[in-house]
Amino acid sequence: MTRLNGKTAVITGGATGIGLAAAKRFIGEGAFVFIFGRRQEALDAAVAGLGSNARAVKGSVSSLPDLDRLYRAVKAERGLLDIVFANAGAGGMAKLGEITGPQIDETFDTNVKGTIFTIQEALPLMGPGGSIILTGSSAGTTGAPGLSAYSASKAAVRNLARTWAEDLKGTGIRVNVLSPGPTATELAKAALGEEGQKAYGAMTALQRMAAPAEIGAVAAFLASQDSSFMTGSEVAVDGGLAQL
């Protein structure tokens, strides 16, 4: 498929997991992709696997100078930008009564502030036909024990898409949310272990966790003109977890 032929995309959190799976899918469908992340070693490995239509820029979405450097690189090599997948995220477990200030700061700096400025800084390079994709979460709809900060931050991301769909009226730029459920990224597999993966997958109607490539496929749909009449929407890719 060549739905993204000639398009330029930015994917934050693009060196591993869902971001890397989306980068592979975007490139497979004809896009040129800039991945952005904090770990140079992971970025280098990702670009080596993605090939000549990928570039990597090191930085944090919570840093405006880092984002400025990212978009200067995009402008210098490609001129304009068609797709932004604001995928970088953070969050840890802490029950009510155990939540700390630094945990709140890290989660909201990445998931909310980082998402806002990832998109705001990209807009001068975007035009009609542009697609913005925000990574939400099933936890933003259902809540999850011990994940107060993370769940609240993802609920905020959902509202950003609704608000920005209004703000972007008349520009031809669409903004939608992709909300995964349990996904078998390398990080999740290491954190959960084999039994934890089975238990987490069993919470879904499909009785399993998603493969990152399944999430990446939906990101490609939202990036393409196949979703041309969608904006302000949320697409749940969660095995039914938040739907039933």
pLDDT in tens, 101-153: 999 999 999 999 999 999 999 999 999 999 999 999 998 988 788 999 999 99
What was the pLDDT predicted at 38? 96
> Domain spans of the chain?
8-237
Per-residue model confidence (pLDDT) at position 83: 98
pLDDT at 187: 83
Return the structure tokens found at 45.
């490995």
pLDDT > 70 in the chain, percent: 100
Q: Are 179 and 234 in contact (CB under 8 A)?
A: yes
pTM: 0.96
Known catalytic membership, residue 150: yes
Is 169 a catalytic site residue? no
Q: Are 137 and 95 in contact (CB under 8 A)?
A: no
| 3-state secondary structure at position 147 | strand
CA–CA gap between residue 232 and residue 137 (Å, rounded): 15
pLDDT, tens digit (0-9, with 9 covering 90-100), for 198-235: 998 999 999 999 999 999 999 999 999 999 999 999 99
pLDDT score recorded for residue 186: 87
Residue range 22-79, pLDDT digits in tens: 999 999 999 999 999 999 999 999 999 999 999 999 999 999 999 999 999 999 999 9
CATH number of 8-237: 3.40.50.720
pLDDT value of residue 20: 98
User: What confidence score (pLDDT) does residue 50 get?
Assistant: 98
Could you read off the pLDDT of 182-197 as tens digits, one per residue? 999 988 898 889 999 9
Q: b/e map of 26-52 (b: 16 or more CB within 10 Å)?
A: bbbbebbbbbbbbeeebbeebbeebee
From 150, 189, 198, 200, active-site residue: 150
- Which tens digit of pLDDT belongs to each residue from 70-108? 999 999 999 999 999 999 999 888 999 999 999 999 999
Q: How far is CA 33 from CA 22, 28, 123, 140, in A?
A: 10, 11, 17, 28
Catalytic entry in 7, 24, 71, 154: 154
Q: Which of 135, 133, 155, 131 is nearest to 144 (CA)?
A: 155
